[in-house]
Amino acid sequence: MSVETTVPTRVTVRNPMNDHDTMTVEVEDTNETRHLVEYADPDLRQTLSALPSGTTIPVSLSRAGVRSNVWRVDDLHHEPTAMVAGRAAPTSD
């Protein structure tokens, strides 16, 4: 059985994407740590791979594993933001 978010889940990048295409994020509302290991398409993976620590993104997630804390990113809902001096700032021009 797959658990999928129906509304965007805001997560903050804690560890950027590594050489194994895995990144660690923290769910904003619950402080849960999740490991993102699968991506809906290569463009989404590439976009997420460029995000530094501290970037907050709204995503749709579904479980990628049955027994572990690994997740698939199904969608990115708008441009990521990074915290700069306590304020949200776009990560791209």
**CATH superfamily of domain region 9-76:** Nucleic acid-binding proteins (2.40.50.140)
Q: Which pLDDT belongs to residue 1?
A: 41
Is it the case that residue 85 has pLDDT exceeding 80? no
> CA 9 to CA 57: how far, in whole Å?
8
- Lowest average pLDDT, out of 22-26, 74-78, 82-86, goes to 82-86
pLDDT in tens, 12-41: 999 999 999 999 999 999 999 999 999 999
Q: What is the mean pLDDT of the chain?
A: 84
Spans of all domains in the chain = 9-76
Which residue in 62, 47, 10 sits closest to 31, CA to CA? 10
The mean per-residue pLDDT over the stretch 71-82 comes to 81
Whole-angstrom Cα distance, residue 88 to residue 6?
A: 24
pTM, entire model = 0.78
